[in-house]
């Protein structure tokens, strides 16, 4: 969901556990939904995307799920590692558009 | 690391100054973007260039002036900024037909006094 100021939603995860990060969207006309990761001091980094006509896509240790009925997107990270600590953003690409619209971000903290 | 470099990494300027931010990509991409990331808002798109032509201006004030001399370089010229313009300015690039997969630079942390 939307974040306000520095008070990003935060997910604390034990190292080795699975993480689930959620995102709600409002635009049903989006063509792609994307997850980006931003580590401290760096720009966002593409993780994985999913087309709007799919409901699941898997990458290396990550799975993105899309539920169009409730307009919900999630990112699952398997066996979370310290290097996964970052802020995660969902984004959407509107059909026939030329720009991404980003959500507010979720901070993931991995505890050793 | 990502193939997109930005200079300077940090910039402090007064409201009457003129400065420029520079972005360079070494990925062979043909689309480049400027974003603003501030503490109180989600990442905001400012400008889009495809094949050196500006295709998007997201209602950005004229005190921000972009320039794209070629597909590898992008500038953001700054003039008479306001303190509320203080933010992290991120440059990104992509293939024009892969807008969903953008590669970001590390950003320029701008402080306007």
Q: In this structure, is the dihedral angle defined by the CA atoms of residues B95, A62, A39 and B44, taken in order, positive or negative?
A: positive
Domain limits for position A31: 14-106
pLDDT tens column, B31-58: 999 999 998 788 999 999 988 888 888 8
A78 in a domain, yes or no? Answer: yes
A44 in a domain, yes or no? Answer: yes
A20 in a domain, yes or no? Answer: yes
Closest-CA residue of chain A to B91: A43
A111 in a domain, yes or no? Answer: no
A2 in a domain, yes or no? Answer: no
Contacting B with CB below 8 Å, chain A residues are 2-6, 32, 34, 41-46, 49, 89, 91, 93, 97-105
DSSP A55: S
Q: Quick check: A93 pLDDT over 50?
A: yes
A4 in a domain, yes or no? Answer: no
Interface test with B, best of A4, A43, A88, A102 (most B CBs within 10 A): A43
**What is the distance in angstroms between the Cα of A81 and the nearest Cα belonging to chain B?**
21
For chain A, the average pLDDT equals 89
A1 in a domain, yes or no? Answer: no
Q: How far is CA B57 from CA A99, B10, B34, B78, in A?
A: 11, 24, 10, 15
A27 in a domain, yes or no? Answer: yes
CATH number for the domain that contains residue A101: 2.60.40.10
Backbone angles phi, psi at A69, to 5 degrees: -65, -45
Cβ-based neighbours of B113, under 8 Å, separated by 6 or more: B12, B13, B14, B15, B83
Task: Name the domain count of chain A.
Answer: 1
Token digits for A28?
């049903």
- What's residue A1's pLDDT? 34
């Amino acid at each position: 969901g939307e974040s306000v100021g520095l008070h990003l939603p935060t997910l604390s995860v034990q190292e080795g556990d699975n993480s689930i990060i959620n995102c709600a969207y409002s635009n049903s006309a989006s063509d792609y939904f994307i997850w980006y990761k931003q580590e401290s001091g760096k720009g966002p980094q593409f993780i994985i995307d999913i087309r709007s006509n799919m409901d699941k896509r898997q990458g290396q240790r990550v799975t993105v799920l899309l539920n169009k009925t409730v307009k919900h997107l999630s990112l699952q990270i398997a066996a979370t590692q310290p290097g996964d600590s970052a802020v995660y953003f969902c984004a959407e690409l509107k059909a026939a558009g030329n720009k991404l619209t980003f959500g507010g971000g979720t901070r993931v903290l991995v505890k050793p | 690391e990502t193939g997109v470099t930005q200079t300077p990494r940090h910039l402090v300027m007064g409201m009457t100054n003129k400065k420029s931010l520079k972005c360079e990509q070494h990925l062979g991409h043909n689309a480049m973007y400027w974003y603003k990331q501030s503490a109180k808002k989600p990442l905001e798109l400012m400008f889009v260039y495809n094949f050196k032509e500006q295709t998007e201006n997201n209602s950005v004030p004229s005190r921000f002036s972009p320039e794209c001399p070629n597909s590898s370089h992008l500038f953001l010229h700054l003039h008479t900024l306001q303190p509320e313009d203080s933010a992290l300015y991120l440059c990104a690039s992509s293939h024009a037909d892969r807008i969903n997969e953008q590669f970001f630079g590390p950003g320029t942390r701008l402080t306007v006094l």
